[in-house]
């Protein structure tokens, strides 16, 4: 176990608490390994009737994964990056298939790896502090941890919009899109957790009672525009539609997309189109692992991390530099199967 992940049993509920406050609780391999170990133990423990997932001290919930480590590994042989993805995706799949009810408290930043922890849970609690995003196109990565599955199943084309732009949405918007199941004020969370620990069989009623009417969800006012302008699975078509529309909203989103990795944007659209057709979450994670294993060693990820996280000049030099230069052959290479002994596999019991 690692002290960056706190595991306890309180009453009839077990708790996973992310405890890496200086990194906004970003996940590393050891945290994922500890979470898997705890979940497997609790799965067999009849005294545990539910699992609660939240963060400990400081701001939260979870800002993502250990991006610097991934880039450092990607610049060499990529083995540590693959190990992280393999372990994290096994954790994601374990939560997705977990028989006991799970509750994620998305109180604060919920991005990347935090999305992978929360969206598999049966109950997903947003608050006024929730800031949800999949911002990977800005660093040359892609919306992984099941992003191809979850985002492709959102209303209309909102998943494609979120994947490409990396837009941050709040708790009310998460509820409106179905990313969250409940909206609960943050100052009520500790009481909610205590009540669930005392009576896990009443989780639904406890969360319903604690829920309040959220503010207006801003994104709902833009759904028609999003569906129209992000309608295509061809990235060039989306850019052309935004340019032709000419509204302030379209101009703003077009400007945003111009800063993103063209390679990653095309990967994201292809991932969501493929993810929408998947019928088994394990198959989705196997595809995403292939993509992650390839992308983490490519120029755009290393350059994106340099520009956004290391040097912070926010001036990445993408290569290929334009969407037109990202060929179908390149996308096929990124999605290509690995050697049989290198493919991702779920945990076996």
Mean pLDDT by 10 residues, the chain (349 residues): 90 97 95 98 97 92 92 94 97 98 98 97 98 96 97 98 98 98 98 98 98 97 97 98 96 97 98 98 98 96 95 96 97 97 94
So which residues are the catalytic ones? 65, 113, 136, 144
Its domain, for residue 92, covers 5-342
Domain count, the chain: 1
* Alpha carbons 33 and 42: distance in angstroms, whole number: 14
The position carrying tokens 């334009």 is 322
CA distances from 152 to 47, 65, 155 (A): 37, 22, 8
* Gap between the Cα atoms of 205 and 188, Å rounded: 15
Distance of CA 181 to the CA centre of its chain: 16
* 286 assigned to some structural domain: yes
**89 in a structural domain:** yes
What gap in Å lies between CA 196 and CA 202, rounded to an integer?
7
Please report whether residue 196 resides in a domain: yes
Spatial neighbors of 155 by CB under 8 A, at least 6 apart, are 177, 178, 223
In a domain, 349, yes or no: no
- Report cis status (omega within 30 of 0) of the bond before 310: no
Indicate whether 348 belongs to any domain: no
Considering just the CA atoms, what is the radius of gyration of the chain in Å? 20
Q: Biggest alpha carbon distance in the chain? A: 60
- Does some domain include residue 316? yes
CA 225/CA 223 separation, integer angstroms = 5
Asked if residue 199 is part of any domain, the answer here is yes
**Dihedral sign, CA of 200, 205, 208, 211?**
negative
Q: Are 137 and 323 in contact (CB under 8 A)?
A: no
Residue 341's pLDDT is: 96
Q: Say if 347 falls within a structural domain.
A: no
Q: Domain holding 249: CATH number?
A: 3.90.226.10
Question: Do the bridges between strand 13-18 and strand 5-10 make them parallel or antiparallel, or are there none, so unpaired?
Answer: antiparallel
| Residues contacting 204, CB < 8 A, separation 6+ | 123
Q: What is residue 313's predicted lDDT score, i.e. its pLDDT?
A: 96
Token digits of residue 179: 């990313």
State yes or no: cis peptide before 286, omega within 30 of 0. Answer: no
Q: Which two tokens stand for residue 273?
A: 């189109």
Q: What are phi and psi of 63, to 5 degrees?
A: -85, -5
The whole-number pLDDT of residue 60 equals 85
pTM (2 d.p.): 0.97
Structure tokens of 119? Answer: 């969206």
């Amino acid at each position: 176990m690692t002290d960056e992940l706190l595991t306890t049993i309180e009453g009839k509920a077990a708790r996973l608490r992310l405890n890496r406050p200086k990194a906004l609780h970003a996940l590393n391999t050891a945290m994922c390994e500890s979470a898997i170990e705890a979940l497997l133990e609790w799965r067999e423990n009849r005294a545990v009737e539910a699992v609660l997932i939240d963060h400990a001290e400081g701001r939260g919930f979870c800002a993502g994964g250990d991006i610097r480590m991934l880039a450092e590994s990607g610049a060499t042989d990529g083995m540590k990056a693959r190990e992280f993805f393999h372990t994290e995706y096994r954790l994601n799949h374990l939560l997705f298939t977990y028989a006991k009810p799970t509750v994620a408290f998305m109180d604060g930043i919920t991005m990347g790896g935090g999305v992978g922890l929360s969206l598999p849970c049966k109950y997903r609690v947003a608050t006024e502090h929730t800031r949800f995003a999949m911002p990977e196109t800005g660093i040359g990565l892609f919306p992984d941890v099941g992003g191809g599955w979850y985002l492709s199943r959102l209303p209309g084309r909102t998943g494609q919009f979120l994947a490409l732009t990396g837009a941050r949405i709040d708790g009310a918007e998460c509820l409106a899109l179905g990313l969250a199941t409940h909206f609960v004020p943050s100052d009520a969370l500790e009481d909610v957790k205590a009540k669930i620990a005392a009576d896990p069989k009443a989780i639904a009623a406890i969360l319903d009672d604690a829920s309040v009417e959220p503010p207006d969800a801003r994104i709902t006012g833009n759904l028609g525009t999003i569906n129209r302008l992000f309608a295509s699975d061809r990235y060039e078509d989306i850019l052309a539609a935004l340019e032709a529309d000419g509204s302030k909203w379209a101009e703003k989103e077009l400007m945003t997309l111009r800063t993103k990795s063209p390679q990653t944007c095309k990967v994201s659209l292809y991932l969501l189109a493929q993810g929408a057709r998947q019928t088994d979450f394990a198959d989705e994670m196997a595809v995403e692992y292939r993509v992650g294993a390839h992308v983490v060693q490519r120029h755009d990820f290393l350059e994106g991390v340099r520009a956004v996280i290391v040097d912070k000049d926010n001036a990445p030099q993408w290569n290929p530099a334009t969407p037109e230069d990202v060929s179908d052959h390149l996308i096929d290479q990124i999605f290509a199967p690995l050697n049989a002994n290198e493919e991702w596999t779920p945990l076996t019991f």
